[in-house]
Amino acid sequence: IAQGKLPQDSWFALGRQLTSLGSAPALLSWSGSMFEYLMPLLVMPTYENTLLDQTHKAVVQKQIDYGNKRNVPWGISESGYNMIDASMTYQYKAFGVPGTGFKRGLGEELVISPYSSIMALMVMPEEACHNLQLMAKKEFAGTYGFYEAIDYTPSRLPRGQEHVIIYSFMVHHQGMALLSLSHLLLNQPMQKRFKADVQCQATLLLLQERIPRVTALSAPNIHIADAASGVGKEDDAFMRVINTPQTATPEVQLLSNGRYHVMVSNAGGGYSRWKNIAVTRWREDSTCDNWGNFCFIKDLENNEYWSSAYQPALQGGDHYEAVFSQGRAEFRRRDFSIEAHTEI
């Protein structure tokens, strides 16, 4: 907008899903990560009593409360975690706090990233400094500063350990940490540069959007994983585990975001619809459940093949189960010592 590539009206055309974080409305992000909320502050100014300012403060406080609730240091964002590939490289994805993001399953994993707390120095410096001191006492820092992350997810922990340190340093995150420190210690040099740009000066009012008076707030699905098992207690009542694809009548799971709809059976058949348009064919016949989209797996050593679910190859394997829980459908099977996990 500042460069004239988009009209100013585009700013107000953006979706503004609000939720209640404490006593005031705040903007929702996709994954509820500190990265999403605070990255703009690295270069852009903020203004008191605006929608963005209130959101920043509410989200950091939510992160603090969530860390206290889980009895761990706080600060969750996208980061590496305790899983490596064939090249011995840590895997990377977004993590967040339940209630601040649309993404489902945010409470199923718990990965703390110190750089998230360093970014929070721009919003709540005293609280963030105390949290960083706590992590330093726990020896979460190395030669080049704080390590990438600390993984507390039970399913990824070696037996007897409460956490695993991700011994890596990501330059991207280290750079964000340095900018956050400069914001606090050098009186916001990047923000001054931003405001000094003539084009940006003409559009600074957009960052001063007032807090709206709203009557309807979004309530994202909140599910906090049980610390002992990694399975949410809240989901137990909604979970169905079917150990055979050959039930008398198909067990089905319905999934939808309001526009795209999926029905899948415990054998892997089903259909997809986009609004009123059928993406895949389907017939209402409980004796013939081979409609839908399918993935096939082939063992190149013995040329055996099967499908990721029971349909359409009609092979149950050495072990098979369909798991239907709130907002997802999973198929787990084992064939010739090969385990496959499909999640929808």
Same domain, 289 and 177: no
- DSSP-derived 3-state class of residue 320: strand
Q: Is the pLDDT of residue 82 over 80?
A: yes
pTM higher than 0.85, yes or no?
no
Residue finishing a domain among 164, 193, 208: 208
Residue 242 within a domain? yes
Residue 19 within a domain? yes
Name the nearest CA neighbour of 150 among 136, 137, 126, 167. Answer: 167
**DSSP string for 231-254:** S-HHHHTT-EEE--S--SS--EEE
Q: Provide the mean pLDDT of the chain.
A: 87
- DSSP-derived 3-state class of residue 152: coil
Q: What is the pLDDT of residue 101?
A: 87
99 with 60: CB under 8 angstroms? no
Q: Domain containing 185: what range?
A: 9-208
Domain of 96: which CATH number?
A: 1.50.10.140
Q: Give the number of other CB atoms < 10 A from CB of residue 17.
A: 11
Residue 225 within a domain? no
Same domain, 264 and 139: no
Q: What is the pLDDT of residue 232?
A: 41
Q: Give the number of other CB atoms < 10 A from CB of residue 266.
A: 28
Q: Is the pLDDT of residue 11 over 50?
A: yes
Q: How far apart are CA 159 and CA 180, in angstroms?
A: 36
Residue finishing a domain among 159, 187, 208: 208
Helix-helix angle 171-185:189-196, to 10 degrees: 90
The tens digit of pLDDT for each residue in 212-246 reads: 776 556 656 555 443 333 434 444 445 788 888 88
Same domain, 22 and 151: yes
Share of the chain above pLDDT 90, in %: 45
How many domains does one find in the chain? 2
109 with 95: CB under 8 angstroms? yes
Q: How far apart are CA 284 and CA 63, in angstroms?
A: 47
Tell me the C-alpha to C-alpha distance, in Å, between residue 92 and each of 45, 79, 107, 151, 152: 29, 5, 17, 12, 15
Segment of 33-42, 217-226, 256-265, 324-333 carrying the highest mean pLDDT: 33-42
